[in-house]
Amino acid sequence: MKRTKYKNNKKIIIIFFILFVFILEVYFRVFFHDYFIKNPLPYLESDIEGVPYLQINFSDFELSKIKSRIIVLGDYISIHRSWENQTTYPEILDLKLNHSFEIINTGASFYSLPEEMSLLKNRAIDYDPDIIIMSYVFNDLDLKNPDNVIIPLKLKKEIYEFKIITPLSINYLIRLNVFKNISKLYEDKQKWMDYYANLHKDKKLINLLKDSLNELKQIKEEKGIEVIFVIVPIFYDFEDENINYINKVVYTECLKTELTCVNLLKIFKKYDVMEVKEDDGDIWHQNSLGNEIIATEIYKVIINKSKFFQ
């Protein structure tokens, strides 16, 4: 009798768990993403101390502008504050431009190219930017990132048709604990470089890159917005064949669109690696000099565009 009761209780627990997962799944796939399209996440801290999902709250900015406006798109690179100098590269750029532009930095942790393009087309473009800065890093085609549970999957179906999506509810629960072992992510740099090089050999993913670049070109032509596509290196092993392969592929595709393309790997190679990277074992992010270089190269492009300084 007890054994039968135990089995029944087990079945009930399983049924309730499945029901719970199903409800979460419906919420994430329908209600949450519909809300996200209209209301991208404001600034908030994640469960990782000091790491924001999105740095800015769009409600802090008026749709109508009082001066020229720059929209910065990118992943954590765009909001990374180095250990030595707690300043992001858009903040350095703002100082170099003497605050002559209003800069909206939409950099977000865990974003890749589709999320950045979706945010641009569904929200940021409404803020009438004069310049769009797209900072592309070598892992921006990583569409299997399990941390991307906050993205609006319904925004553009064809972008995600080849993305392997586990149930978002399970994905979200897993994500709550993933950073307990974050140090393991840094153990094998070569593995990551090989992985991202292979992504840039995938025809579907390269087509995604091409489509995104062409969409940026279309925005530039139709709306008269200057687009600056900035290729930012990570891993800081500048002579590695994988790094150079990825850089060449992305830069070549960018040049085909006739966008303004800034190849920062070429610039960073002028420096010793330890001069431009964080010195705490971080293989992903630039230090304060790295941020300064990024801001300087973008600044050079902007001041050479005479229409902004007539």
What CATH number is attached to the domain comprising 197?
3.40.50.1110
Structural domain of 168: 39-309
Which two structure tokens, joined as six digits, stand for 252? 């070549």
pLDDT tens for 264-287 read: 999 999 988 888 877 766 777 888
- The reply to whether 103 falls in a domain is yes
Contacts 24+ apart (CB under 8 A), 78-82: 78/105, 78/106, 78/107, 78/135, 79/52, 79/55, 79/105, 79/107, 79/108, 79/109, 80/285, 80/286, 80/291, 82/278, 82/285, 82/286, 82/287, 82/288, 82/290, 82/291
Task: Considering only residues 82 and 222, tell me which one the structure prediction assigns the higher pLDDT.
Answer: 222
Q: Say if residue 66's pLDDT is above 50.
A: yes
pLDDT at 85: 73
Asked if residue 24 is part of any domain, the answer here is no
75 has pLDDT over 50:
yes
Residues 77/135, Cβ–Cβ less than 8 Å: yes
Answer yes or no: is 237 within a domain.
Answer: yes
Rounded to whole angstroms, the Cα distance separating 100 from 91 reads 12
Do 107 and 78 form a contact (C-beta atoms < 8 A)? yes
Considering 65-74, 145-154, 250-259, the range whose residues carry the highest mean pLDDT is 250-259
Q: How confident is the model at residue 28 (pLDDT cuts 50, 70, 90)?
A: low
> Is 256 part of a structural domain of the chain?
yes
Q: What are phi and psi of 208, to 5 degrees?
A: -60, -45
Token duo for residue 254: 């960018």
Q: Helix, strand or coil for residue 44?
A: coil
The residue type at 247? N
Range name among 19-23, 127-131, 134-138, 265-269 with the lowest pLDDT average: 19-23
Least confident of 132-146, 176-190, 252-266: 176-190
Residue 28 covered by a domain: no
Q: Quick one: pLDDT at residue 59? A: 65
- Read off the tokens for 301: 């492009």
Supply the pTM of this predicted model.
0.75
- Does residue 9 fall inside a structural domain? no
Say what the pLDDT of residue 167 is: 53
pLDDT tens digit sequence for 163-199: 334 455 555 555 545 444 444 555 677 788 888 898 8
Q: Kindly state whether residue 121 falls inside one of the protein's structural domains.
A: yes
The per-residue pLDDT for 280 is: 66
Mean pLDDT of 103-118: 81
Q: How many domains does the chain have?
A: 1
Return the SS3 of 234: coil
Whether 70 shows a pLDDT value over 90: the answer reads yes
Is residue 50 scored above 90 in pLDDT?
no
The predicted pLDDT at position 184 comes to 55
Q: What is the pLDDT of residue 307?
A: 66
